[in-house]
Structure 1
Amino acid sequence: MNNALLDHTNPVVQLCITGTQAEMHDQIGAAQAAYQQAWALAQTPLDRCIAAHYCARHQPLATMLEWNQIALEQARLVESSAISEFLPSLYLNLAWSYEQNAQIDQALEQYQACLTSLAALAEDPYRTMINDSALAALQRLDR
């Protein structure tokens, strides 16, 4: 996620960082607990978007899909300029969730939305990674 989007003094963001750090030490249960706490504290659409994005991690496929849907729904409630750099990642994660749940038409739609939303990103390694991931998925799905 773009650091400009994250207020590191925000308790929701702090909990997501804590969860990510726990993941790096293979403490998945602790990470999930931190993400759930972040969700419980989230009060704004941006906070809910961020928390849902992280809650989706390490979940069963159907639950992962639900969290990724919530993340994108909440993102759509945030002023577009504030969230535009995060949208490609949200679309990519939602597309992957749809693909893993064998909902291929929805996956293709989200991969395309991901590619379309890349215009908001600067030409950098992060944009290249998102672009390459979406293109590989479309090729994998033979579209």
Structure 2
Amino acid sequence: MEFNPFNNVVKLCLQGMGMEESGKPEEASKLFLQAWEEATDDLEKFIAAHYVARHQKNVSDKLQWLETALQFALKINNNTVMSALPSLYANIAKCYEDLGDAERAKMNDDLATSFNDNPSDNGPFYHGTKADLQVGDSLIAGGNSNYKAELKMNHIYFTALVNGAGLAAALAKSDGPERVYIVEPTGSFENDPNVTDKKFPGNPTRSYRSESPLKIVGEVTDWERIAPEELQKWREKLAGNHGEIIN
């Protein structure tokens, strides 16, 4: 089970987030409820329930939706959602605290802090670009951001999802062909803080970054290409995003 940015439920959640950013919470809430109604598998239901919970005005209702999201997350039990469990338990703990249930608040808070923050993902890992590189070459930090041309990046970014790397390649600012390389981290790495819990809960895109080089060990040519109209929407969304990049 893999997170897919082209999934209809994910697209609805992205639209809902756009409404949130535009100061339209009611429209956002409707889109998240639509995502929940259209969700068919555990991952879709987990993601949709997470967003529906954010728009509940009553603490008991919010708790119910958070526990629904947790129920589906625990069913999946893989790297796609494991990184979301600390914040999910922490939010549930806060609800119990607000409801005056100290025992359950502490239990969930303890569960939140019991998780190791270090990524446990074993890959394989991918890097999407339009640069023409060879097996044995290294990708290093210090390049320009694809999203803010004047920003030099302190890390090199990669993902464990080949389709995610393909999307990054499509968005790269170059006229060259899209390339997705198989890479191996040569040092420690961390969850990409620009996406972790800022968009989707946890790190379902399995996006990481490292200050150490990535060694290219291969290349893949088979991934889900994004349609031109969808690619344009992504470019417009990125162009309109004026949020700070955590570098």
**Interval containing the TM-score (normalised by the shorter chain):** 0.7 to 0.9
Work out whether residues 19 and 31 of structure 1, in 8 Å CA contact, stay in contact via their aligned partners in 2. yes
**Matches of 2:3 and 2:68 in 1, distance apart?**
19
More strand by share: 2
Q: Say yes or no: does 1:56 pair with 2:53.
A: yes
**Residue number in structure 1 paired with 2:79:** 81
Q: For structure 2, list consecutive stretches of 5 or more residues without a partner in the other structure.
A: 120-188, 198-247
State the identity %.
Answer: 31
**Who wins on radius of gyration, i.e. which is larger?**
2
Cα deviation digits, residues 3-49 of structure 1 (max 9, x gap): xx631111111111111111112211101001100100111111111
Instruction: Calculate the TM-score normalised by the size of structure 2.
Output: 0.46
**Contact 1:45 1:77 (C-alpha < 8 Å) held by counterparts:** yes
Amino acid at match of 1:44: D
Match of 1:17 in 2: 14
CA separation of 1:118/1:92 partners in 2, compared to 1, >3 Å: closer, same or farther? farther
The more displaced of 113-122 and 28-37 is: 113-122
Q: Report if the CA contact (8 A) 2:118-2:190 is conserved.
A: no
3-state SS in 2 of match to 1:118: coil
Paired residue for 1:72? 70
Task: Answer yes or no: is the 8 Å Cα contact 1:84–1:120 preserved in 2.
Answer: no
Paired residues for 1:112-131 under 5 Å:
112-119=110-117, 121=119, 123=190, 126=193
Residues in 2 aligned to 1:118 and 1:46: alpha-carbon distance in whole angstroms: 22
Q: Which residue of structure 1 aligns with residue 5 of structure 2?
A: 8
2:20 corresponds to which letter in structure 1? E
Letter in 1 for 2:40: Q
Q: State the alpha-carbon separation in 2 of the partners of residues 16 and 94 from structure 1.
A: 21
Distance in 1 (alpha carbons) for counterparts of 2:99 and 2:112: 18
SS at match of 2:75: coil
Range 7-16 or range 115-124, more displaced: 115-124
Q: Is the 8 A contact 2:3 2:80 kept in 1?
A: no
Alignment: residue pair count:
124
Alpha-carbon distance change, 93 to 6 in structure 1, aligned in 2, over 3 angstroms = farther
Q: Which amino acid aligns with 2:113?
A: L
